[in-house]
Structure 1
Amino acid sequence: MTRAVPVDDGLTGVDAASTPVTVERAITAVAGVLTVLLTAAAFWLSYEHLQEVAANHGMAQAVARSWAWPATVDLFIVIGELLILRASLAQTVDWWAIGLVIAGDGGSIALNVAGVGDSARPLDYVVAAVPPIAALLAFGALMRQVHAYLARHAQAAVDAPLTGVEASSAPVEASVYDLPAGASAAPSRPTVEMPVRPALAAAVEAPLTPVAPEPVPVEVGSTAVDLCMPVIYPNRVDQLVRALYGTDFVQPSTIRMTTAMSAAGLGASESTARTARSRVKAREPYLAGLPVVRPAVEAVTA
């Protein structure tokens, strides 16, 4: 009979205080709210000033166009930051997106400052330049927080154990020590008594001739065993592309990779798929020797 052993709740950590985690989440939430407010205020100030510049330079009678005109400058910042965020999640650098941010923010600052006029005081130029600069910094901080949130959840999904992967496929044999008392490890068999042959007379036995077998040379060698550690890919797109190599032992095409990515909810970007394939072949160079299947052939055989 097994006696229950009392467990001290203080040693398990279940009821431990989660104050650091709660404080961290509270600080993150407050910082996110303040960043959103700062971004909205800075964009609104910059946008309104650019509307005044447009109204004072040829669009005074077209109010709708004067309010739509600043979007041709400020929206480049939003588009560029979002593309930079996407490239960062894919572990690549999008120089085109960086150029859009530089062009949009540089044009916004220049137009806000130039719209003050020639006879303005130096502080007027500073006041005009602060909103677009603040909008750039605040929006960058907002994208950084979004990137940290998405990267943390993606890493948690990668680190999660896969169902059934760690289960052993080898048959498990019961140990002798696991058998109940009095049981035998091997099944009992009936004892059969074999008849004993009568001994031959000593005179009838033929003399034995000793035979010395010739020694056979045995070659001693060792077989090289590849004990390389498996390659672990933290990126989910890299994991998906690497898995496609093992399905039919050919190099996956761009169409096949984007189709698998779309089915897994990872988007369908061809550049992301090709970049992931390059990273996989860089870490495992022997995969580059696999045959290449053209999209037309792959569509026929699918």
Structure 2
Amino acid sequence: MSAPVSVDASPTPVETASTPVNVESAITVIAAVLTVLLTAVAFWLSYEHLQEVAAAHGMAEAVARSWAWPATVDLFIVIGELLILRASLAHKVDWWAILLVTAGDGASIALNVAGVGKDANALDYVVAAVPPVAALLAFGALMRQVHAYLAGRSATGETHPSTGVEHPSTPVEVSSDRPPATPSGPPVIEADPGPEHPALPAGVEAASTPVDAEPVEVDARSTAVDLCMPVVYGNRVDQLVRALYGMHFTQPSTTRMTLAMGAAGLGTSPSTARTARSRVRAREPYLADFPGALRVEAV
């Protein structure tokens, strides 16, 4: 007998697989913090420079107004970026939001550069243009990270395993395709005991077999419809006469039909019996090929 094989159940693979996730999370947090810091610094530099421009052009004595005026330019960038984020989460394109960001950022860069003056050095213009450009890029990067975070949470919430609500509908579909049950006729009481009938000829058995020797494969859902549907009789006398055909595979005589009718409480009228037999033969013509009974009676 071989010795049992030992299995190593150490959690090393799980710890190794979780390490990249931890590193990725740490990098994401650091990038988000730095992006927020860069956005705040860039907006502060741009905002303060625009306040100096406003103070140098008519608002020197109105300090509160000079500090509020840059908001009429920089807040267009914030509003536009937030609207772009909303449209992105809805898988749409908000051209009005893009126009707001373009107008706000263009105005901020132009005013920061123009506030330097005409005779300034080229590097002074670059220094003035860097804060609004950095504010635009940093705020866009921040909105992108927020979008990725919200999209990740939305995707996680949509991947729950299925609760299996659709499965109970399967039995209903199967049961709806079943053929209607053939109504059973009244119980027939054999009241004319006679000699035992001989075996049926081979021709009669072949005529009553509706299925080929090699049946063609048919879709299971349409089998009950494509094959011969059972004949349903609404008249009780017709049902009784048809049952006599199925019991003995011979032509039911008038005496046998009237005795069965009397036992079922349907009267004993010979004409009613013969009329019912005619109706059954008309609906199922192949029944006329059945052999007659041994006892020949007047009809």
Query: Does 2:136 align with 1:131?
Result: no
CA, structure 1 residues 94+126, in 2 after alignment: closer, same or farther (shift >3 Å)?
A: same
Counterpart in the other structure of 1:112 = 112
Counterpart in the other structure of 1:85 = 85
CA, structure 1 residues 169+216, in 2 after alignment: closer, same or farther (shift >3 Å)?
A: closer
Counterpart in the other structure of 2:159 = 159
* Pairs within 5 Å for 1:122-201: 122-162=122-162, 164-165=163-164, 169=168
Report the count of equivalent residues: 192
Deviation of 1:21 after TM superposition, in Å, equals: 1.3
CA, structure 1 residues 11+30, in 2 after alignment: closer, same or farther (shift >3 Å)?
A: closer
Deviation of 1:138 after TM superposition, in Å, equals: 0.5
Q: CA RMSD, aligned part only?
A: 3.6
Counterpart in the other structure of 1:69 = 69
Query: Does 2:61 align with 1:57?
Result: no
CA, structure 1 residues 79+224, in 2 after alignment: closer, same or farther (shift >3 Å)?
A: farther
Judge conservation of contact 1:10–1:16 (CA < 8 Å) in 2.
Answer: no
CA, structure 1 residues 215+138, in 2 after alignment: closer, same or farther (shift >3 Å)?
A: same
Query: Does 2:121 align with 1:121?
Result: yes
Deviation of 1:87 after TM superposition, in Å, equals: 0.6
Deviations 1:254-300 (A, max 9, x none): xxxxxxxxxxxxxxxxxxxxxxxxxxxxxxxxxxxxxxxxxxxxxxx
Counterpart in the other structure of 1:233 = none
Structure 1 CA distance for aligned equivalents of residues 95 and 220 of structure 2: 47
Structure with max Cα Rg: 2
Give the aligned residue type for 2:136: L
Structure 2 CA distance for aligned equivalents of residues 134 and 54 of structure 1: 21
* Pairs within 5 Å for 1:197-236: 211-212=203-204, 213=207
DSSP 3-state at the match of 1:10: coil
Counterpart in the other structure of 1:179 = none
Structure 2 CA distance for aligned equivalents of residues 28 and 71 of structure 1: 30
TM-score after normalising by structure 1? 0.55
Deviation of 1:22 after TM superposition, in Å, equals: 1.4
Structure 2 CA distance for aligned equivalents of residues 16 and 207 of structure 1: 82
Deviation of 1:210 after TM superposition, in Å, equals: 5.1
Deviation of 1:161 after TM superposition, in Å, equals: 2.1
Structure 2 CA distance for aligned equivalents of residues 5 and 166 of structure 1: 43
Judge conservation of contact 1:49–1:112 (CA < 8 Å) in 2.
Answer: yes
Counterpart in the other structure of 2:281 = none
Deviation of 1:27 after TM superposition, in Å, equals: 1.0
Deviation of 1:89 after TM superposition, in Å, equals: 0.6
Judge conservation of contact 1:42–1:132 (CA < 8 Å) in 2.
Answer: yes
Structure 1 CA distance for aligned equivalents of residues 89 and 29 of structure 2: 21
Identity in percent = 66
CA, structure 1 residues 15+5, in 2 after alignment: closer, same or farther (shift >3 Å)?
A: farther
Judge conservation of contact 1:81–1:140 (CA < 8 Å) in 2.
Answer: yes
TM-score after normalising by structure 2? 0.56
CA, structure 1 residues 169+42, in 2 after alignment: closer, same or farther (shift >3 Å)?
A: same
Deviation of 1:9 after TM superposition, in Å, equals: 2.0
Specify every segment of 5 or more residues in structure 1 that has no aligned partner in the other structure, as ranges: 173-199, 226-302
Counterpart in the other structure of 2:97 = 97
Counterpart in the other structure of 1:22 = 22
Give the aligned residue type for 1:81: E
Judge conservation of contact 1:50–1:70 (CA < 8 Å) in 2.
Answer: yes
CA, structure 1 residues 54+15, in 2 after alignment: closer, same or farther (shift >3 Å)?
A: closer
Counterpart in the other structure of 2:272 = none
Specify every segment of 5 or more residues in structure 2 that has no aligned partner in the other structure, as ranges: 172-193, 222-299
Structure 2 CA distance for aligned equivalents of residues 24 and 208 of structure 1: 86
Counterpart in the other structure of 2:230 = none
